[in-house]
């Protein structure tokens, strides 16, 4: 058994994402206050596309850590909101590429403001050194578990 400075309950909370859940809830609350009618999952997909528009559904699934059925559902809903479009690949018509619409592109700044606000709220009373250490530890855990 691995010995940690955390008691078992604290370790379970860390590993089950209690902090992530609280952060996601606050971000969703801030989105709603700002009149942004998207979910955290939709925002995560848009965020990947803002960095690399025109990805295939498979690439989008990989970069967003989602499975194929989840990606299909999320893209369907983003299309209904007129935030993305599926366009068949030029060379392989079986493959769809996902592109942001104009409406999807202009949403970036609004959501970024709310994400920054949420992080500011989350990081109150946390020093830069504490944040750097947290980042280092979580990055190491992720690398240890990455396939």
pLDDT one-digit tens code per residue, 100-127: 999 999 999 999 999 999 999 999 999 9
**Domain region containing 19:** 1-37
pLDDT value at residue 12: 56
- Position with higher pLDDT, 18 vs 109: 109
* Closest C-alpha among 12, 19, 75, 81 to residue 48: 75
Query: Is the pLDDT at 1 greater than 60, yes or no?
Result: no
The CATH number of whichever domain residue 70 belongs to comes to 1.10.10.10
Residue 53 and residue 22 share a domain: no
- Position with higher pLDDT, 53 vs 13: 53
* Closest C-alpha among 63, 70, 67, 68 to residue 95: 68
Give 40's contacts (C-beta < 8 A, 6+ positions apart): 24, 27, 28
Q: How many domains does the chain have?
A: 2
pLDDT value at residue 9: 66
pLDDT value at residue 123: 93
**pLDDT band per the 50, 70, 90 thresholds, residue 93:** confident
Instruction: Report pTM.
Output: 0.81
Residue 91 and residue 67 share a domain: yes
Question: Nearest 5 degrees, angle CA 22-CA 16-CA 128?
Answer: 55
């Amino acid at each position: 058994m691995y010995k940690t400075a955390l008691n078992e309950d604290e370790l379970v909370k860390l590993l089950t994402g209690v902090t992530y859940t609280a952060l996601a809830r606050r971000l969703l609350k801030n989105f709603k206050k700002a009149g942004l009618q998207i979910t955290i999952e939709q925002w995560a997909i848009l965020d990947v596309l803002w960095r690399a528009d025109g990805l295939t559904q498979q690439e989008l699934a990989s970069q967003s850590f989602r499975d194929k059925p989840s990606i299909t559902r999320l893209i369907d809903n983003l299309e209904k909101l007129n935030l993305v479009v599926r366009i068949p690949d030029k060379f392989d018509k079986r493959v769809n590429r996902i592109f942001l619409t104009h409406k999807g592109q202009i949403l970036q700044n609004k959501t970024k403001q709310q994400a920054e606000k949420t992080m500011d709220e989350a990081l109150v009373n946390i020093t830069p050194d504490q944040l750097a250490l947290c980042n280092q530890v979580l990055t190491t855990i992720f690398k240890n578990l990455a396939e």
